[in-house]
């Protein structure tokens, strides 16, 4: 196993120096600097981060975003916090969404009744499309 390079002096001579926060800590033999290795994990494509934030701003819940994109709702919460995204307060409307193929989307837009009196957004989602539609909450 190769030892990691020191981030301060780039030397590759380091000794193990304990574990901090579940990560191996090293001490550089050259300059004496203590450092930890980078976190190993799966990096999520920026495409999914952007889509998740768009959906959040549109009023889609964390759990719904998780189901649609296949990304953990906790990751979505962390991205919202990291990028300081704030969704506007929505009291009169709630979003509903459908995943459609290109043909289904074209058929939907052929019917003029589908386009009346509703807020509607369509976004690409891989090889399909997500349609978000806003509907008023029913009173009573």
Q: pLDDT digit string (tens) for 26-85?
A: 999 999 999 887 655 667 788 899 999 988 888 788 998 898 888 999 999 999 999 999
27-33: list long-range contacts, CB under 8 Å, 24+ apart: 30/6, 31/6, 33/6, 33/7, 33/8, 33/9
Q: Both tokens of residue 10?
A: 């780039």
Q: Which of 118, 122, 70 is nearest to 98 (CA)?
A: 122
Burial class from Cβ neighbours inside 10 Å (0-12, 13-18, 19+) for residue 17 reads: middle
What Cα–Cα distance (Å) separates residue 134 from each residue in 34, 41, 54, 57, 87?
53, 36, 15, 13, 15
What pTM did the predictor assign?
0.54
pLDDT at 125 over 50: yes
Q: Which residues pair with 131 in a beta bridge?
A: 98, 122
């Amino acid at each position: 196993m190769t030892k990691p390079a020191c981030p301060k002096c780039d030397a590759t001579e380091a000794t193990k120096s304990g574990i901090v926060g579940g990560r191996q800590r090293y001490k550089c033999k050259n300059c004496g600097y203590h450092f930890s290795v980078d976190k190993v994990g799966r990096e999520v494509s920026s495409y999914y981060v952007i889509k998740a934030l768009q959906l959040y701003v549109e009023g889609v819940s964390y759990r719904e975003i998780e189901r649609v994109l296949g990304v953990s709702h906790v990751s979505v919460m962390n991205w919202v916090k990291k990028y300081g995204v704030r969704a506007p307060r929505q009291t009169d409307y709630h979003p509903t969404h459908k995943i459609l193929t290109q043909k289904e989307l074209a058929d939907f837009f052929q019917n003029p009744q589908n386009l009346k009196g509703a807020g509607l957004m369509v976004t690409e989602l891989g090889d399909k499309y997500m349609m978000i539609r806003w509907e008023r909450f029913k009173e009573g």
